[in-house]
Amino acid sequence: MATKKDYFLVFILGVGFGLFFIPIFENIQPAFWRISFFSIIGLAIGFGLFAIFSLGVAGFLARWMPSIWQFAKYAAVGSFNSFLDLGILNFLSAIFGIYHGLWLAFFNVISFSIAVTNSYFWNKYWAFEQRNKLRASEYWYFISVTFIGALINTAIVYILTTLIGSPGGISPAFWENVAKLIGVPVAILWNFFGYKFFVFKPKFHSMDPPAIAS
């Protein structure tokens, strides 16, 4: 089921996933983190190889549960875009020193908009393997489904960072990322079923005659 192209693409996603840890770590400054050539290469190659391994496991399990294959590709795309989103948000927060309030919500919209545009093309042509031409109506369905997921994520970020605030002993930069990640699982599940059944649903042609095996 898996091809060399699949493994190459998932490796690219894994490398990107690792690289977007850099602005996150630079923002929250964990004690173990020191930016260097080796730490950058380690993140990129490490997550790239892990992505290949994970897709291989999914391909093996898909022999018995075929739906796992599509979900694995979707999860790879979703994971990369989540960290693309997080990376941009952390970069903007670090540059401007903003970790709560409406400006943070605005930064969240910017990071989300970039991630969702990237997500559209990866999901359309790789995860859900749609070969039809790009249609404006399909893209707007995609935006509508994803927008609901983004509302969930942004609402959680705003509530936890602004209305509740970071608990004692936790930095605002770290708490910002905790808030962002809490909304991810719900948004990922919502988006997967929305994309599968409303945006990238298969086109059936009931008038076409069945194929005859030769």
Q: Which residue has the higher pLDDT, 211 or 77?
A: 77
Task: Give pLDDT tens digits for 150-169.
Answer: 787 788 888 988 899 888 88
Phi-psi region of 97 (alpha: psi -120 to 50; beta: other; left: phi over 0): left
**How much is the mean pLDDT over the chain?**
84
Q: In the 8-state DSSP scheme, what is residue 101? A: S
Q: How many CB atoms lie within 10 A of CB 68?
A: 17
State the Rg of the chain over Cα. Answer: 19
- Residues 115-123: what's their mean pLDDT? 85
pLDDT the model gives residue 140? 81
The DSSP secondary structure of 66-88, one letter per residue, reads THHHHHHHHHHHHHHHHHHHHHH
Model-wide pTM > 0.85:
no
Q: How confident is the model at residue 203 (pLDDT cuts 50, 70, 90)?
A: low
Which range, 9-23, 110-124, 162-176, is most confident?
Answer: 9-23
Q: Which two tokens stand for residue 74?
A: 């979707």
Question: Is the confidence at residue 211, as pLDDT, over 60?
Answer: no
Name the amino acid, one letter, at 47.
F
Question: Is the confidence at residue 209, as pLDDT, over 50?
Answer: no
Q: How many CB atoms lie within 10 A of CB 196?
A: 19
Task: Give pLDDT tens digits for 121-130.
Answer: 888 888 887 7
Q: In the 8-state DSSP scheme, what is residue 162? A: I
For residues 114-149, b (16+ Cβ closer than 10 Å) or e, as one string?
A: ebbebbbebbbebbbebeeeeeeebeebbeebbeeb
